[in-house]
Amino acid sequence: MIKIFKIAKLELSILFYSPVAWLVLVIFMVQSGMGFFGMLGSFQELFMMGEKADNLTQLLFPATNGLFDKVLQNLYLYIPLLTMGLISREISSGSIKLLLSSPVKISEIILGKYLAMIYYALMLMAILGIYCLIGVWVIKDADTGLIGAGLLSLFLLTATYAAIGLFMSSLTGYQVVAAISTLAVFAALKYIGTVGQSIDFVRDLTYFLSLSGRTESMLNGLITSRDVIYYLLIILLFLGLTILRFKASRESKPFAIQAGRYVALMAFVLLAGYLSARPAAILYRDVTAQKSQTLTPASQAVAKQIEGPLVITTYVNLLDQHVYAGLPVSRNTDLSRFEDFRRFIPGIKMNYVYYYDATDLANNPNMIYQGNITGLNTRQVAEKVADNLEVDLDKFLTPDQIHQIIDLAPEENTFVRQLSYQGHTSFLRLYNEQNQFPEEAEITAAIKKLVVPHQKIVFIEGDDERSIRVKGDRSYDLFSSARKTRKSLINQGFDVVGVNLDAADVPPGTTLLILADPAKPFSSQAAARIRGYIDAGGDMLITAEPSHREVINPFLSRFGVQLSPGMMVNPDKNAPADLIQGRIAAENNEYLDQLMYMNATVAMPSAAMLELTGSDFTADTVLQSSALGWNKKNGFDPSSSSVSYQPEQGDQKGSKPLIVLLKRKVAGKEQKIFISGDADFMSDHAIPQAYNFSFISGIFRWFSNGLFPVRVSRPAPQDDAILTSRKELSAYRSAVLWGVPALMIAGAAGLLISRKRK
């Protein structure tokens, strides 16, 4: 061990008796600091303008253009400059022969030179540590765990680069060639993860060897045994290759023995890497202050209920526009989307079923990329797509074959996953959004649906109610049954069905019955079925429009509620007179408290005031109008530019109830009835406005007693301010970007001049 330290000391002295080592330190410090102080100054200006921002530690360090991100982009350029001469200069000068013939082990020589590079890597990290200390000093409640994980990640990456550079330096006597070769190996290790992706075992091995993506999770605060072991194994591999390289030149062993050593080393590294990457073998440590790299407690609680295998079957349609996301070449990326859940459910089993089918080729979005398909049948189109994607069509099930397994017509044969657990199933879909893949809330909801009683939402049909089957401004499709909408009920854990009560009873197991703005009176049979459901204690949600007051009021009289004559008026002259901004009025409602805290509004086009006439229900106002608005008793023209308040005609000014919640005890259960004087706030047209979607989610979370939608929110980050003035920040900048580099240059110059004189 003493010899290793002596060699490391000698190598460091040689390194610092040349200007390269000093220049790298200075350039690294200046380059890193310019971006860091630039971003810090930008956020300071943002706060001075009265804007708000939180999660500053994340934004200033690992996020895009943050300190760690910038270092990651440039680090690979520095290391070859330092490692290119470690052994190549010994080879070119001939001193390698003396070194190998000395009474020092080859392993000691290699480890000593590598240890020198580790010391230098620590110097680079010390420079980053200066910026980290400044960040901790100036950021309010900075996330020190996140910063520490980032430094560890960059140190391991630097150490890995150094091992690779050391090996490449041992292959040639030309330093420039060694540097270029090192860069080539970096590139190869970055892109090797794309090799052999269609073969499962090969894909796992090449993905293990790939450098791409290894630093991201650790930079963001999640330290895993898989990533740490990866770096250590790659370091071991290249140090081992270097030692074997010189042993081969010193010994006269048969070629088979020498080759066997290389094969054994490679086999050990690959096997160890493969085993360490198995989900059950991975250890995790989330060091962030908010535990942002870990599932929320709500999701963890759901994961704990899974005992045994959870099978996720992904059905990939060759004719779907999202087919590439499910192909073998994208497998590792796809598997990574469930990495957070594998941590708590190691029994997740991922299956992939490939098929081709199309219910409507002419309107299939993917066909616009396939050229002219006129006159082609489904098989011929599939052959064309397979040829374009360079995949084997024989590996895809035919329409008849997939129909024998599952009917995906309700899913329109799109990219979909089916989760299966102990005989229960649920679906995960892709969405028409920039981020089309399910996130924690949707995945947790799909898993939770497998272990809790189903929440069946039933919409009454047959009397021209709002539709959940067609799209349109008045429809309820977007929030209820739109498969491509992330926040729709069917993607948040609910079952959604429609029923015509003239022809059928309320379905068994109904959790909530919804009556959405009927346009004509019920038949006696439908009325009796609804009445029976209510008398039995069933929950109900009722929405109505002022224009259908005569239809709904006789039904609402059972609950002691009526739609008052007239319409509510919006006092804001810059908005339509009939567009009411309802405000949360319900207190102590845990499902709406966040919206109330935010003083959120709900857009309600053409709303009626609700009158409470008394019943055996307890009534609470959930949403109320502005205190400056009023109820126009005789109604008004919504297109009018001026609507006046006329108390002599019965107009009533002030906050009025727009939505009420009714509760009573029936057979030991709390029955809940939700009544709204506006039906449009849940419509496809109004949902994108204000906080309507969030409000609707709160309503259904209330009806399901908190089961769905799953709330995966986290506490707000506390690092939301910069605790220094512009003058102080400027002083830090000058000292670090100019003062410290100047001292380093002066010290280097003094050392080099002194050595030259000696």
Q: Does residue 513 belong to any structural domain of this protein?
A: no
Q: Is residue 716 part of a domain?
A: no
499 is a domain residue? no
Q: Are residues 330 and 379 in the same domain?
A: yes
Whether residues 640 and 608 share a domain: the answer is yes
Per-residue pLDDT, averaged over 163-190, amounts to 86
Assess if residue 78 is contained within a domain: yes
Task: Give the percent of the chain with pLDDT over 70.
Answer: 93
Q: Is residue 322 in a domain?
A: yes
CA distances from 313 to 417, 497, 655, 743 (A): 5, 24, 52, 61
The chain-wide mean pLDDT, for the chain, equals: 87
Please state the rounded mean pLDDT for residues 363-374.
68
Q: What is the pLDDT of residue 704?
A: 93
Q: What angle do CA 123, 127, 131 make, to 5 degrees?
A: 155
Enumerate the β-bridge partners of residue 447: none
Q: Name the strand (E) or helix (H) holding 665.
A: strand 657-666
Average pLDDT over residues 601-625: 91
Domain range for residue 279? 2-288+726-757
Q: What is the pLDDT of residue 330?
A: 85
Q: Where is average pLDDT lowest: 193-202, 261-270, 481-490? A: 193-202
- Assess whether pLDDT exceeds 70 at residue 205: no
Shared-domain flag, residues 104 and 247: yes
pLDDT of res. 486: 93
Return the beta strands (E) in 277-384 as ranges: 284-286, 310-317, 348-355
| pLDDT at site 370 | 67
Query: Quick one: average pLDDT of 353-382?
Result: 77
358, 393, 425 - which closes a domain: 425
Give me the pLDDT at residue 552, please.
94
Q: Quick one: tokens of 448?
A: 């939770």
Return the H-helix or E-strand segment holding 569.
strand 567-569
Which DSSP string do the residues of 379-430 spell out, in sequence order?
HHHHHHHHHHHT--GGGSB-HHHHHHH---GGGTT-SEEEEEETTEEEEEE-
From the DSSP assignment, how many helices (H) and strands (E) are in the chain?
A: 26, 20
577 and 598 assigned to the same domain: yes
Check whether 362 has a pLDDT greater than 70: no
Number of domains in the chain: 3
Predicted confidence at residue 425, as pLDDT, reads 95
Tokens of 466: 């709002």
* Shared-domain flag, residues 657 and 680: yes
Q: Does one domain contain both 273 and 398?
A: no
Residues 91 and 11 in one domain: yes
Highest mean pLDDT among 197-201, 278-282, 700-704: 700-704
Q: Which position has the higher pLDDT, 285 or 90? A: 285
CA 592 to each of CA 584, 647, 696, 708: distance values in angstroms, whole numbers, following the listed order: 8, 34, 10, 14
Residue 228 pLDDT class (50, 70, 90 cuts): very high
User: Based on the domain organization, do 280 and 306 belong to the same domain?
Assistant: no
Same domain assignment for residues 33 and 174: yes
Of 425, 456, 490, the residue that ends a domain is 425
Which residue pairs, CB below 8 angstroms and at least 24 apart, start in 388-394? 389/318, 389/323, 389/324, 389/327, 391/318, 391/327, 393/318, 393/356
Nearest-angstrom CA–CA distance, 486 and 326? 19
The length of the chain in residues reads: 758
Q: How confident is the model at residue 487 (pLDDT cuts 50, 70, 90)?
A: very high
Q: What average pLDDT does the segment 623-652 reach?
A: 84
Residue 67: both structure tokens together: 């300190």
Q: What digits encode the pLDDT tens for the residues 678-690? A: 999 999 888 887 7
Whether 712 is covered by a domain: the verdict is no
Residues 671 and 745 in one domain: no
Average pLDDT of the residues in 449-468: 92
Residue 436 lies in a domain: no
Does 590 or 735 have the greater pLDDT score?
735
> Region 264-289: what's the mean pLDDT?
87
Residue 522 lies inside a defined structural domain of this protein: no
Whether residue 256 is found in the same domain as residue 333: no
pLDDT at 199: 63
How far apart, in Å, do the first and last CA atoms of the chain sit? 31
- Inform me whether the pLDDT recorded for 431 exceeds 80: yes
Q: To which H or E segment does residue 527 belong?
A: helix 524-535
646 to 236, 537, 634, 653: CA distances (angstroms):
86, 42, 10, 9
Q: What is the pLDDT of residue 5?
A: 86
Give the residue, 88 or 555, on which the prediction is more confident.
Answer: 555
Residues 36, 120: one domain? yes
d(Cα 149, Cα 400) in Å, to the nearest integer? 52
The pLDDT of residue 43 is 87
In this predicted structure, what is the pLDDT of residue 484? Answer: 92
Q: Which residue has the higher pLDDT, 91 or 68?
A: 68
At 202 the pLDDT is 64
User: Does this model's pTM top 0.85?
Assistant: yes
